Structure 1
Amino acid sequence: MDIEKLADEIIAGKRLKRGDDLSFLITADLDQMRDGADRIRKALCGDKVDLCTIISGRGGRCGENCKFCAQSAHNHTHCDEFEFRDENEIIEEAKSNQEEGVDRFAIVDSGYGPSDADFEKIIHVIERMHKELKIELCCSLGFMTSEQFHRLHMAGVTGIHNNIETSRRFFPHICTTHTFDDKIANIKRAQNEGLAVCSGGIIGMGEDWDDRIDMAITLNELGIRSIPVNSLMPIKGTPLEDRPRLTEDDILRTIAIFRFINPEADIRLAGGRALMADNGRCTFSSGASASITGNMLTTSGSTIKQDKEMLAELGRDTTPDWERPEEDRWDYKYKYREEAV
Structure 2
Amino acid sequence: MTDTITPTKWEILADKALQGKRLTLEEGLSLLQADDDEMLPIMQAAYRVRKHYYGKKVKLNMIFNAKSGNCPEDCGYCAQSIVSSAPIEKYRLLDKETLVAGAHEAIERQAGTYCIVASGRRPSNREVDQVVAAVEEITATTDLKICACLGLLDEGKATQLQKAGVHRYNHNLNTHKDNHANITTTHTYDDRVDTLDHVKNAGISPCSGCIVGMGETDGQLVETAYALRDMDVDSIPVNFLHAIPGTPLEDYPRTKPMKSLKVLAMMRLINPSKEIRISGGREINLRHLQPIGLYAANSVFVGDYLTTEGQAIKEDHAIIEDLGFEIEECAL
Same fold by TM-score, threshold 0.5 exceeded? yes
Instruction: State the one-letter code of the partner of 2:51.
Output: K
Equivalent in the alignment of 2:3: none
Shift of 1:21: 5.8
| Aligned equivalents of 2:63, 2:195: Cα separation in 1 | 20
| 1:244 aligned residue (253, 256, 259) | 253
| 1:284 aligned residue (294, 303, 306) | 294
| Aligned equivalents of 1:124, 1:270: Cα separation in 2 | 27
Shift of 1:295: 5.8
Deviation by residue 1:104-155 (Cα, 9 ceiling, x = unmatched)? 1011010111122222211111111122222111100011111111111111
1:23 pairs with 2:29: yes
Instruction: State the one-letter code of the partner of 1:11.
Output: L
| Aligned equivalents of 1:242, 1:281: Cα separation in 2 | 27
Matches within 5 A, 1:1-341: 2-16=9-23, 22-28=28-34, 29-275=38-284, 276-278=286-288, 280-285=290-295, 287-294=296-303, 299=308, 301-320=310-329
Shift of 1:322: 5.2
With the length of structure 1 as denominator, give the TM-score of the two structures: 0.89
- Which range moves more in the overlay, 152-161 or 24-33? 24-33
Unmatched 5+ residue regions in structure 2?
1-7
Q: 1:171 to 1:290 in 2, by over 3 A?
A: same
Shift of 1:9: 2.7
Q: Which secondary structure does the structure 1 equivalent of 2:135 belong to?
A: helix
Equivalent in the alignment of 1:339: none
| Aligned equivalents of 2:323, 2:66: Cα separation in 1 | 33
Shift of 1:12: 3.0
Instruction: State the one-letter code of the partner of 1:27.
Output: Q
Q: Which secondary structure does the structure 2 equivalent of 1:206 belong to?
A: coil
Equivalent in the alignment of 1:332: none
Shift of 1:272: 1.0
- Which range moves more in the overlay, 312-321 or 299-308? 299-308
| Aligned equivalents of 1:47, 1:196: Cα separation in 2 | 23
- Which range moves more in the overlay, 44-53 or 213-222? 44-53
Q: 1:68 to 1:315 in 2, by over 3 A?
A: same
| Aligned equivalents of 1:217, 1:81: Cα separation in 2 | 36
| Aligned equivalents of 1:162, 1:180: Cα separation in 2 | 11
| Aligned equivalents of 2:184, 2:214: Cα separation in 1 | 12
Query: For the Cα contact (< 8 Å) 1:61–1:71, is it kept in 2?
Result: yes
| Aligned equivalents of 2:13, 2:305: Cα separation in 1 | 40
Shift of 1:31: 2.8
Shift of 1:268: 0.3
Shift of 1:309: 2.5
Shift of 1:297: 6.6
Query: For the Cα contact (< 8 Å) 1:273–1:299, is it kept in 2?
Result: no
Q: Which secondary structure does the structure 2 equivalent of 1:169 belong to?
A: helix
Measured on the aligned residues, the alpha-carbon RMSD in Å equals 1.9
Instruction: State the one-letter code of the partner of 2:31.
Output: L
Query: For the Cα contact (< 8 Å) 1:273–1:300, is it kept in 2?
Result: no
| Aligned equivalents of 1:244, 1:296: Cα separation in 2 | 20
Q: Give the 4+ runs in structure 1 shifted more than 6 A.
A: none
Query: For the Cα contact (< 8 Å) 1:68–1:239, is it kept in 2?
Result: yes
| Aligned equivalents of 1:313, 1:136: Cα separation in 2 | 26
Deviation by residue 1:6-48 (Cα, 9 ceiling, x = unmatched)? 212322332225x666432233333322221111111222211
Give the percent of matched residue pairs that are identical in Structure 1 and Structure 2.
32
Query: For the Cα contact (< 8 Å) 2:95–2:130, is it kept in 1?
Result: no
Shift of 1:301: 3.1
Shift of 1:312: 1.8
Q: Which secondary structure does the structure 2 equivalent of 1:182 belong to?
A: helix
Paired positions, count? 321
Q: 1:225 to 1:163 in 2, by over 3 A?
A: same
Query: For the Cα contact (< 8 Å) 1:271–1:300, is it kept in 2?
Result: no
| Aligned equivalents of 2:251, 2:9: Cα separation in 1 | 38
Unmatched 5+ residue regions in structure 1?
324-341
Query: For the Cα contact (< 8 Å) 1:228–1:269, is it kept in 2?
Result: yes
